């Protein structure tokens, strides 16, 4: 649910970013949060490697800039303008392209193995519903590398992190710093 773009590593003096806005699928494969890894499937965003859906090697991946229940996303998908969104709305969300290279901070990683400096990252295994749409450690030949950890997990204060669910926000979470990349079918030695 946390994503902070530290710097795009495009040309000098450029803040250019590659992004894509698309409707969120009616069944995206789980909860889409800010920072979730997404793929396009028939023109709609779904969680990358969501259960029942596979992200084949070389599929391009995006990082969600908003969650699926974000009011702005719901309004963009004809969700109304009131304080209560229309239940039938199909959110339109924007995803930030994994390439060109970015440096990001995120808490969207599935396990401690993905948090060590130098670790190559891929998208989590869809068979594990808690890993779908999150960064995981690259282990197998043929997986697409999506980034490398350049700073280990560290505590960071986040204003909208749940402290007491339903009552209070503002809490510390652990984030890693990643340099994104896109290397399809990476071979391990």
pLDDT score, position 128: 64
- pTM for this prediction: 0.83
Phi and psi at residue 112, to the nearest 5°: -65, -30
Task: Give the integer Cα–Cα distance in Å for 69 and 30.
Answer: 12
Q: What is the arithmetic mean of pLDDT over 96-108? A: 89
> What separation, in Å, do the N-terminal and C-terminal C-alpha atoms of the chain show?
34
| More confident site: 22 or 17 | 22
| More confident site: 94 or 159 | 94
Q: What is the CA radius of gyration of the chain?
A: 16
Question: How much of the chain exceeds pLDDT 70, in percent?
Answer: 81
pLDDT score, position 84: 58
Domain boundaries, the chain: 3-183
Q: Could you check whether the bond before residue 77 is cis, i.e. omega within 30 degrees of 0?
A: no
pLDDT score, position 82: 57
pLDDT score, position 4: 80
Biggest CA pair distance of the chain: 55
Confidence grade of residue 14 (pLDDT, cut at 50, 70, 90):
low
Task: Give the integer Cα–Cα distance in Å for 39 and 84.
Answer: 28
Cα–Cα separations (whole angstroms), residue 88 to 45, 79, 91, 111, 152 = 17, 7, 9, 34, 41
* Tokens 């350049």 found at: 150
């Amino acid at each position: 649910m946390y994503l902070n773009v530290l710097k795009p590593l495009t040309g000098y003096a450029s803040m250019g970013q590659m992004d894509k806005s698309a409707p969120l699928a009616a069944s995206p494969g789980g909860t889409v949060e800010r920072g979730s890894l997404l793929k396009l499937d028939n023109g709609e965003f779904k969680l990358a490697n969501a259960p029942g859906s596979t992200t084949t090697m070389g599929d391009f991946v995006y990082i969600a800039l908003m969650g699926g229940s974000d009011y702005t996303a719901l309004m963009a998908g004809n969700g109304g303008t009131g304080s209560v969104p229309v239940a039938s709305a199909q959110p339109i969300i924007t995803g930030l392209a994994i390439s060109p290279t970015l440096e990001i901070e995120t808490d969207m990683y599935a396990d401690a193995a993905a948090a060590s400096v130098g670790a190559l990252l891929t998208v989590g295994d869809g068979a594990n519903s808690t890993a779908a749409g999150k960064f995981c450690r690259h282990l197998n030949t043929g997986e697409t590398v999506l980034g490398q950890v350049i700073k280990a997990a560290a505590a960071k204060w986040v204003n909208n992190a749940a402290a007491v669910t339903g009552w209070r926000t503002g809490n510390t979470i652990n984030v890693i710093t990643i340099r994104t990349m896109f290397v399809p079918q990476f071979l391990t030695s």
